[in-house]
């Protein structure tokens, strides 16, 4: 009887670990709620958006823009004033699920050059997909929408070295 109880306890313990592991895997695989209202529709997971019009990236998990400043890739919570005319809601964004994509910027710039100037991409704010319902009411969109905040706020960015934000 003791042996049967012991086996049952071990089995339940292993099952609990598997369930917890599966829940962690699922939470890492879907990040719709983190995506800003100006992000493109149709992606359950996005690590970065590449914006061909301005040659910059946006990190979905950290809510930071990555762009060149004085020949150094910087991470900032805002875009610089030189992009003040860029419209996040109408500029084309390419989803990139790659580690530090700016380190291969020439590749991305060349690959997505044909997307410059395109204004036909549907964004989360304008979608009626049930997955984005929190963005419709403003529950998520206001919190994660960096809008046109150029050169404002505190700069908590780094110089773009040694950060792993991706699933590989």
Average pLDDT, the chain: 75
Chain segment 130-167, per-residue pLDDT in tens: 887 776 555 443 333 445 444 443 333 333 333 333 33
Q: Taking the model in full, what pTM does it have? A: 0.66
Residue with tokens 């109880």: 5
Query: Is 51 in contact with 136 (CB distance < 8 Å)?
Result: no
Model pLDDT, residue 16: 42
What does the radius of gyration of the chain's CA atoms come to, in whole angstroms?
20
Strand ranges of the sheet holding 72-76, from the earlier edge strand across to the other edge = 72-76, 64-69, 56-59, 48-51, 94-96
Chain segment 105-116, per-residue pLDDT in tens: 999 999 999 999
């Amino acid at each position: 009887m003791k042996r049967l109880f012991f086996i049952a306890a071990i089995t339940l313990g292993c099952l609990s670990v598997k369930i917890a592991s599966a829940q962690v895997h699922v939470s890492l695989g879907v990040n719709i709620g983190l995506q800003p209202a100006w992000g493109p529709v149709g992606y359950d997971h996005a690590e970065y958006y590449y914006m061909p019009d301005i040659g910059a990236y946006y990190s979905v998990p950290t809510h930071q823009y990555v762009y060149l400043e004085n020949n150094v890739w910087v991470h900032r919570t805002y875009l610089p004033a030189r992009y003040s005319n860029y419209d996040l809601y109408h500029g084309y964004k390419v989803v990139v699920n790659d580690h530090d994509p700016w380190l291969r910027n020439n590749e991305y710039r060349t690959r997505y050059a044909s997307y410059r100037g395109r204004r036909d991409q549907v964004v989360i704010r304008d979608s009626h997909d049930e997955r984005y319902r929190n963005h419709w009411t403003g529950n998520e969109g206001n919190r994660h929408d960096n809008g046109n905040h150029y050169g404002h706020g505190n700069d908590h960015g780094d110089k773009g070295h040694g950060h792993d934000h991706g699933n590989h």
